[in-house]
A = this chain, B = another copy of it.
Amino acid sequence: MSDVKKVVLAYSGGLDTSVIVKWLQETYACEVVTFTADIGQGEEVEPARAKAQALGVKEIYIEDLREEFVRDYVYPMFRANTIYEGEYLLGTSIARPLIAKRLIEIANETGADAISHGATGKGNDQVRFELGAYALKPGVKVIAPWREWDLTSREKLMNYCEQHEIPVDFSKSKKKSPYSMDANLLHISYEGGILEDPWAEAEEDMWRWSVSPEAAPDEPTYLELSFEKGDIVAIDGERLKPHEVLSRLNKIGGDNGIGRLDIVENRYVGMKSRGCYETPGGTIMLRAHRAIESITLDREAAHLKDELMPKYAKTIYNGYWWSPERRMLQAAIDETQTFVNGTVRMKLYKGSATVVGRKSEQSLFDESIATFEDDAGAYDQKDAEGFIKLNALRLRIAAGKGRSAS
């Protein structure tokens, strides 16, 4: 284990990753570089500096990645109307590739030969961090303490802290929760505790980002979202950067009880797990994006997107953002967004985000054709007969040869 000289650690400043700093220093006798990013998790990142210093870390990276995160990861993903297993908006999954990329870039800058993270051996995040790392720096050494050490219970961890004089109290806030949580600008997730029984309803006081639908205002909130090339660029006419858009939508959505989700999902490592998620802004964005596409996107492009989406979602969920297949799918998706411009009007009310209007300069909705009124010859109904006849031909031939269709 002596061949690691310097390791870059994804460091939250919390108890677990603080223990990892010490454990890495001890176990590998190597230098540790910490990397702490603000991706919108809602906690200060600057305090991580003092904590890292106290642990003897000399190279400390603290960065605000919120804009990059939403612009280069969240937005491209939403262009595909991405949902995993029909429900999950991939809030955790989409943050990992950015962390992996920065870990590797910092490793290159600092001359580190290894990276490390605090994800467990049962989850998807280890896979996402490590696939990203290997894809970006094939010779990197990855250290996953949770797969290696024997600090497998909270008690052992506490003992380790005591022995190594790691101040335990700085993680007070986290300790209060019986759930394993993860947050970034797109979502906050909850796992563990009573959620391990999929029949048990999540407790109201678990949710942190949204009020309950019951507690939401009795009046609906209306919202106009403007799109350019498939991305939201303005809310109610006010032009905003991507992370500002998402931030704003999280606030408005959360206030209206929007974006709670309670599912059992299939992890890449082979097990099913229960997770609860709050994705207020994302839930609104997804609906709105489908709505703007509904008037601006060609039918067959839309259908092909729908057919590719599950594959694209799985690719991201499983950790393959930095892969040829993700780039390939992204190229197809991005190709379709040129004309996805316009405005969607939404109504938010006690947990529901519903589309009530959509308009676009590039709209393909043609009132003169679709109308029930006289269309002045824009559409010749007689064409339908030939259309149906030829589409039916193969079925008629088969039936004519005695094949029963029913």
Contact = CB atoms under 8 A, between A and B. Distances in A.
A213 B350 contact: yes
A132 B400 CA distance: 14
A272 B370 contact: yes
A339 interface: yes
Nearest to A314: B303
A403 B356 CA distance: 27
Given A135-B405, A351-B352, A388 B127 contact: yes
Given A126-B388, A135-B399, A355 B263 contact: yes
A140 to B, nearest CB: 9
A307 B238 CA distance: 38
Most chain B beta-carbon contacts within 10 A, residue among A134, A307, A314: A134
A231 to B, nearest CB: 18
A192 interface: yes
B384 A345 contact: no
How big is chain A's contact interface, by range? 35 or more
Contact of A386 (B218, B274, B387): B387
Contact of A384 (B87, B135, B200, B269): B269
Contacts of A260: 354
Copy number in this complex?
4
Given A197-B367, A310-B303, A352-B351, A121 B298 contact: no
Nearest to A395: B135
A406 interface: yes
Nearest to A131: B392
A387 B345 CA distance: 36
A256 to B, nearest CB: 11
Contacts of A362: 401, 403
Interface in A259-283: 260, 262-266, 269-274
B301 A310 contact: no
A304 B322 contact: no
Given A272-B294, A386-B387, A381 B120 contact: yes
Given A271-B370, A297-B324, 9 more contacts: A85-B303, A146-B381, A147-B382, A199-B359, A201-B347, A300-B320, A307-B307, A327-B335, A331-B331
